[in-house]
Amino acid sequence: MFSANPTRRQVLRSATAAVALPFLESLGFRRFASAATPVEVPKRIVFLGFGWGVTEESWYPDKNVPGADYELPDGLRPLARHKSDFSIVQGLRNKFSVEGHAGSTWWLTGANPYAQPGQSYCNTISADQVAANEFGRFTRFASLQLNHSEGNDSSGHGPGLSLAWDASGKPIGGENGPLATYHRLFSKDSMPIEHRRKLIAQKRSVLDTVLENARSVKRGLGEDDVQKLDEYFDGIRNIETRLSKDEKWMDKPRPEAPFGEPNSSLSGRDEIKMMYELMVAAFRTDSTRVITYRQPVSSLLTSIGNKVAPHDMSHYHSTRGEKLVCSQVRDSTQSALLAGLIDQLKETREADGSRLFDNMVLAYGSNISTGHNLTNCPTLITGGGAGINLGKNIVVEKDTPLCNAWLTLLQGIGVPAQRHGDSTGVVPAMLS
């Protein structure tokens, strides 16, 4: 048994156990640790996006009651126990996003799809990847892109492979469902290190040959073809970066999984719940500090017994009735799942005794408010790691760029971004 104030000898004698156990204040670990070099707890950022928006009448708080004294609407009522620890930001919009079926395609980028003359589609870097460029060098995965397991177009998200877009505006693929995410985080590589080194060397050799041939082709090309080839070079550089990352981490084994392999048949509500648990596990093991999750809606509705087609649900204004009820139940279910995630973030302790919740920021929302309405993007912000003014109904000027909110979060966690997308500055009302 430890005494209330363990001696140095007692702590040293139990050093092997101390590695596996959390720092227990009652055993004096906080005081012991503070005498040595302080533990630097990393900052993290999460973006949770869903398709088809929300029920406008019952998700948004009353705009006429800004501040902390607003009444929690029915759609957010499952979050009541966390009311002082999240804020709703109203009035945000991606002004260039004019496609009602584009879902989350431009949610984190704020890009103008028609910015390139002669092209009807383009994108730019997403906010998560701006953070990944700053924090990614410290972790095995610069960022994690998590996806639902029901297919790209079935939950109102629109074009893209995840919520993430790289510096060239190209989509970044994600892990589809809990099982793929689990193996990405925790499955051990059985290939010997020397074989892995040879494999990386072979891939580099192939890249060198491809680059040499591409450069020889570039001479004499027209302007449009040169631009296409430059984009190709960007892709090659991205592969080179990933190879360097693999090489750096190849002799560092993946962490032990905190729980068993999830069932491959999880879907809807159970899938989201498991994905939230995997996010917390990814942060606890410092496997990454940046996560996006493009959540399912179709399978969520099925899992809670709703039979209304998801797209029809989002157009409840025309007939209301069953469609409206379905939309409201969807909101409540999503809020209940989010409340469970916030519970986990508050319960998880860092090395310095603080909560995981205190060292991260999480944005939850959609690019669509409802139907084809792209104004007042539903936006909920939680987490104590970015200096955000929590517990408030924050109402900003109508059509304030959504990217102003993303810039506020990025700067709040220490990313030295001066602008993002179509931002015009930070949102002062979001800052505590």
- Single residue among 252, 276, 296 that ends a domain in this structure: 252
| Higher pLDDT among residues 288 and 245, named by residue | 288
Least confident of 114-123, 155-164, 363-372: 114-123
| Arithmetic mean of pLDDT, 243-253 | 71
Least confident of 38-47, 248-257, 308-317: 248-257
Least confident of 202-211, 310-319, 362-371: 202-211
Report pLDDT for 418. Answer: 96
Crossing angle (nearest 10°) for helices 193-218 and 223-249: 170
Judged by phi (left if over 0) then psi (alpha if -120 to 50, else beta), residue 197 lies in alpha
Band of residue 372 on the pLDDT scale cut at 50, 70, 90:
confident
Both tokens of 202, joined, read 């072979």
Decide if 397 is inside a domain. Answer: yes
CA distance 382 to 356: 12
**6-44 b/e (C-beta count within 10 Å ≥ 16 → b):** beeeeeeeeeeebeeeebeeebbbeeeeeeeeeeebbbb
Contacts of 375 (CB under 8 A, 6+ apart): 93, 369, 398, 399
Report pLDDT for 318. Answer: 72
Report pLDDT for 53. Answer: 93
* For residue 33, pLDDT beyond 60: no
pTM reported for the whole predicted model: 0.83
Task: Give me the percent of the chain exceeding a pLDDT of 90.
Answer: 61
Q: List the beta bridge partners of residue 393.
A: 67, 88
Report pLDDT for 223. Answer: 65
Decide if 318 is inside a domain. Answer: yes
Report pLDDT for 11. Answer: 38
Q: pLDDT tens, 379-415?
A: 999 999 999 999 999 999 999 999 999 999 999 999 9
Report pLDDT for 101. Answer: 77
Same domain for 78 and 225: no
Contacts of 422 (CB under 8 A, 6+ apart): 94, 95, 96, 110, 111, 112, 401, 403
* For residue 17, pLDDT beyond 90: no
Decide if 26 is inside a domain. Answer: yes
Same domain for 319 and 244: no
Same domain for 232 and 194: yes
CA distance 322 to 329: 11
Same domain for 228 and 373: no
CATH number where 356 lies: 3.40.720
Same domain for 170 and 217: no
* For residue 117, pLDDT beyond 60: yes
Report pLDDT for 232. Answer: 63
**Residue-wise DSSP of 325-370:** HHHHHHHHHHHHHHHHHHHHHHH-B-TTS-BGGGGEEEEEE-S-SB
Token pair 């296409």: residue:
228
Decide if 157 is inside a domain. Answer: yes
CA distance 261 to 246: 24
Q: pLDDT tens, 326-351?
A: 999 999 999 999 999 999 999 999 99
Least Cα distance to 369 among 399, 339, 407 occurs for 399
Count up the domains in the chain and report the number: 3
Same domain for 422 and 382: yes
Decide if 113 is inside a domain. Answer: yes
Both tokens of 138, joined, read 């410290």
Least confident of 164-178, 202-216, 350-364: 202-216
* For residue 84, pLDDT beyond 90: yes
Same domain for 85 and 202: no
Same domain for 55 and 14: no
Contacts of 258 (CB under 8 A, 6+ apart): 281, 284, 285
Domain that holds residue 16: 1-38
Same domain for 270 and 300: yes
Same domain for 91 and 170: yes
Token pair 């297919």: residue:
151
Same domain for 241 and 298: no
Least confident of 74-78, 135-139, 290-294, 305-309: 305-309
Decide if 257 is inside a domain. Answer: no
Report pLDDT for 153. Answer: 53
Decide if 48 is inside a domain. Answer: yes
Average pLDDT of the residues of the chain: 85
| Arithmetic mean of pLDDT, 119-138 | 93
Tell me which amino acid residue 68 is.
Answer: A
Report pLDDT for 210. Answer: 67
Report pLDDT for 99. Answer: 80
Task: Give me the percent of the chain exceeding a pLDDT of 70.
Answer: 76
Least Cα distance to 53 among 417, 397, 401, 374 occurs for 374
Decide if 259 is inside a domain. Answer: no
| Arithmetic mean of pLDDT, 2-10 | 41
| Higher pLDDT among residues 153 and 117, named by residue | 117
Same domain for 99 and 60: yes
- Single residue among 206, 225, 252 that ends a domain in this structure: 252
Band of residue 241 on the pLDDT scale cut at 50, 70, 90:
low
